[in-house]
Amino acid sequence: MDDARASASPFAVDEGRNGAVDDGESAATAAESVSTSAAVSMSAASASRLLGQAGFGGTDESIAEVQRLGASGWIEAELAMPQSWRRYYWLEERGYRTAQYRFNASPFARCAWRKLVRAPDVLRQRTTLALSEIFVINPTMLAGAGGFKHFAGAAYLDLLDEHAFGNFRDLLGAVTRSLQMGVYLSMRGSRRDDGTGRAPDENFARELLQLFTIGLYELNPDGSPKRQGTGFVESYDQDDVTELARVFTGWDVERRALYVATRNNDTSHWRRPMRHFSEYHDNDAKRFLGNGEIPAGMSGEAELDRALDIIFEHPNVGPFISRQLIQRLVTSNPSGAYVQRVAAAFDRDPETDRRGELAAVLRAILLDPEARDDEEAANSQVFGKIREPMIRFVQWARTFRAHDPNHKWELYPFDDSSTQLGQSPLRSPSVFNFFRPGYVPPNSDLASLNTPDRSVPLVAPELQIVDETSIAGYANFMVRAIRGGLEGRLTTYYTREAAIARDPEALVARLDLLFTGSQLRAGTRSAIVETIDSMRNDSAEARLNRVRAAIILIMTSPDYLVQR
C-alpha cells in the first residue's frame, strides 16, 4: 500500500460539522462497487447485530447500509475499503515529535482512541484491535531505542492495519521484523553463542510458537487438542525453542542511525523493520518442529523467512488463529464445527487458492451460520462473549458521533479498573494479553458445565478482567462520559434520542436496537422503561437526562454486557 504522506495525511479525513467525517462517504462509495444482486433481506436487528460483531455497533446509517447490501455485500465493501489515515502521521503533524515528548507516551492514547472512534473502515479497525490482542506489545514497556514510545505504538497499529485483510504469513513476517516486537520480546540484539557463555535470547522464539502461531498442544482441525492417553500432545518442546532462537540472532537497529535519530528527534526507525547484522548470526544448521530444517550457510534474512514458512505451514496455525479471532469477534465458545469451517478457509481461500488469507477467514467467521443465526444465539446457554470495556466505550462514542471540535483528542489510557475502563489499546500488562483465551472463571456456573467428557472446556476470557471493583469503575466512568463527554473532551449528539424522550417505550426500543440488536430481555426492557417513565420530561434538559439515564442503564445491563 502506498505510504506517501499525501494519501495518508490525517487531515484528508477530518471532522466537519456535527462530528461527521468528511470522507465518510468512502464506505458508501466502496459499497456501490459491490453488486447487490446477492443481498438478502435483513431485519434492522440482524444488521445491528452484525455491526456489533464486525465493528463497534450500529447507527441508523450503517444499519440501513447493511440492510441494503446484505451481510455478504457489506463485508465485501469493508474488505474493499482502503486503509484509512495513519496514526503515526497524525502524531507527527500534531507536533508530538519534539524533545518534550521523547519520554512521554501519553499522545499514543490520543491517536489510538481517535482512530477507533472516527475511522470509516470499521471492520479493519475491529480486526486490528483483535490482532493487537494476539500479537501483543505494550509501547510503555519498550525500553531504549530512542524513546518516542507513542510513535512506536502508532506505527505498530498502522502495521496491523495494513495487514489486517492480507495474508497471515506476511503479517507474521512484518511483526517479527518490527522494532517494536524486537524490543518488547528482546529479539533485538540477540547474538549467537560466541563461546563466552552468551546464549541467544529465547523470548520471542517461545512466544512466537506459544501465542502467535501454533499453541502448546497439537490440535485437531476443529481446534480440540489431540490426546495421548490421559494427556495432550505437546506441539513443541524446549529443544524447538532453543533451535528457533538461533534463527533470530543478528537482528537489530543500526546504532549510528539510532544515535542520529535521537539527536534529531527522528522517529522513523519505529516505522522501519530491523536490519540483519551477519556477524552476530548463528550460521550453523538448525532443526525444529519435527521435519523443519534449515541448512548451514544461509543468510540471516533467508533463515528467518524459511523458519516462518515452516511455522506457517504447521497444521495448528489455522485452528489456533481461527478460534482466537472467532472469540474476539463473535463468541467465546465456538463449536468445533464452526472452528473447523473457519480453519478450512485459513488453509485454503477458495477465491485465491492461497493459505492464510485473512479476508477469507473474516468472511468465514462473520458469515458462518453460527454467527448469523439470531434466534439460536439468543436461546443458547453458551453462545456469545463479554464485550470488552474498550469496545463498549468506542460503541458509545461512535453511536453518538463523538468528536473533538478542537481536533486535539486529549484522551488518556483508561487503565484504572476502579475508576475507568480498566483497558486501553496496546496497554496489556503482559504478552499474554489482558485475558487468556482459555480462562474459566473459578467456582462459576460456567465452570460447572465443564464435565470431563468435554474436548474443549467452556471459557469466558473477558471475565478475567471483571470483578466487583471493575464493574463499579466502568459504570462510573460511563456516567461521566455520557453526561459530560469526559470533562468536555468529546462532543456527542443525542438529538434523535431526545426527540422521542417523551415516549420511554420508543426511546428504549431505539437504544436497544443500536446497542444490542434488539436483544434486551422483556424484564430488562420493562425495568428500564419504568425507570425512564418516572423521570421528568417537562424541559429539554429533563428529556436529555432521560436519554442519558436510558443509555447508562442499557450499557450496564447484563443483556448488553454479553454480546450475542
pLDDT in tens, 298-346: 999 999 999 999 999 999 999 999 999 999 999 999 999 999 999 999 9
pLDDT one-digit tens code per residue, 425-473: 999 999 999 999 999 999 999 999 999 888 899 999 999 999 999 999 9
Q: How far apart are CA 346 and CA 243, in angstroms?
A: 27
pLDDT one-digit tens code per residue, 70-100: 999 999 999 999 999 999 999 999 999 999 9
| Maximum average pLDDT range among 143-157, 315-329, 377-391 | 315-329
Which three-class secondary structure state does DSSP give residue 234?
A: strand
Residue 4: predicted pLDDT: 38
Residue 213's pLDDT band (cuts 50, 70, 90): very high
pLDDT one-digit tens code per residue, 114-129: 999 999 999 999 999 9
Same domain (yes/no): 334, 414: no
- Cα distances from 283 to residues 118, 187, 254, in angstroms, run 48, 17, 21
The mean pLDDT value for 263-279 works out to 93
Q: How far apart are CA 202 and CA 200, in angstroms?
A: 6
- b (16+ CB within 10 A) / e for 10-28: beebebeeebebeeeebbe
Same domain (yes/no): 367, 408: no
Residue 235's pLDDT band (cuts 50, 70, 90): very high
Residue 373: predicted pLDDT: 92
Residue 255's pLDDT band (cuts 50, 70, 90): confident
Q: How far apart are CA 34 and CA 348, in angstroms?
A: 23
Residue 378: predicted pLDDT: 81
Same domain (yes/no): 423, 558: yes
Flag whether pLDDT at 264 surpasses 90: no
Same domain (yes/no): 494, 476: yes
Same domain (yes/no): 484, 367: no
**Is position 179 within any domain?**
no
**Is position 48 within any domain?**
no
Q: What is the pTM of this model?
A: 0.92
The mean pLDDT value for 489-498 works out to 96
Alpha helices in 334-404 (DSSP H): 336-347, 358-367, 369-372, 374-379, 389-399
Same domain (yes/no): 463, 360: no
Residue 471: predicted pLDDT: 97
Residue 229: predicted pLDDT: 87
Same domain (yes/no): 490, 440: yes
Kindly tell me the sign of the dihedral angle through the C-alpha atoms of 439, 385, 121, 87: negative
C-beta of residue 439 within 8 angstroms of C-beta of residue 459:
yes
Residue 18: predicted pLDDT: 31
Look up the domain containing 401 and give its range.
385-563
**Is position 59 within any domain?**
no
Same domain (yes/no): 412, 492: yes
User: Among residues 287, 361, 280, 306, which one has the least CA distance to residue 328?
Assistant: 361
Residue 196: predicted pLDDT: 82
**Is position 340 within any domain?**
yes
pLDDT one-digit tens code per residue, 520-549: 999 999 999 999 999 999 999 999 999 999
Residue 258's pLDDT band (cuts 50, 70, 90): confident
> Pairing relation of β-strands 292-294 and 251-252?
unpaired
Same domain (yes/no): 478, 329: no
* Residue 238: φ, ψ to 5°: -65, -35
Q: How far apart are CA 422 and CA 37, in angstroms?
A: 44
The mean pLDDT value for 177-193 works out to 97
Residue 25: predicted pLDDT: 36
Same domain (yes/no): 196, 337: no
Same domain (yes/no): 351, 466: no
pLDDT averaged over every residue in the chain: 92
Same domain (yes/no): 514, 409: yes
Residue 22's pLDDT band (cuts 50, 70, 90): very low
- Which range is least confidently modeled, 5-14, 102-111, 367-376? 5-14
Cα distance from N-terminal residue to C-terminal residue, the chain: 35
CA 524 from chain centre, in angstroms, equals 30
Q: How far apart are CA 1 and CA 155, in angstroms?
A: 15
**Is position 235 within any domain?**
yes
- Cα distances from 404 to residues 362, 397, 410, 486, in angstroms, run 32, 11, 9, 11
**Is position 11 within any domain?**
no
C-beta of residue 280 within 8 angstroms of C-beta of residue 201:
no
Structurally, the chain folds into a number of domains equal to: 3
* Residue 293: φ, ψ to 5°: -120, 140
Flag whether pLDDT at 42 surpasses 50: yes
The mean pLDDT value for 22-48 works out to 56
**Is position 168 within any domain?**
no
**Is position 151 within any domain?**
no
Which three-class secondary structure state does DSSP give residue 280?
A: helix
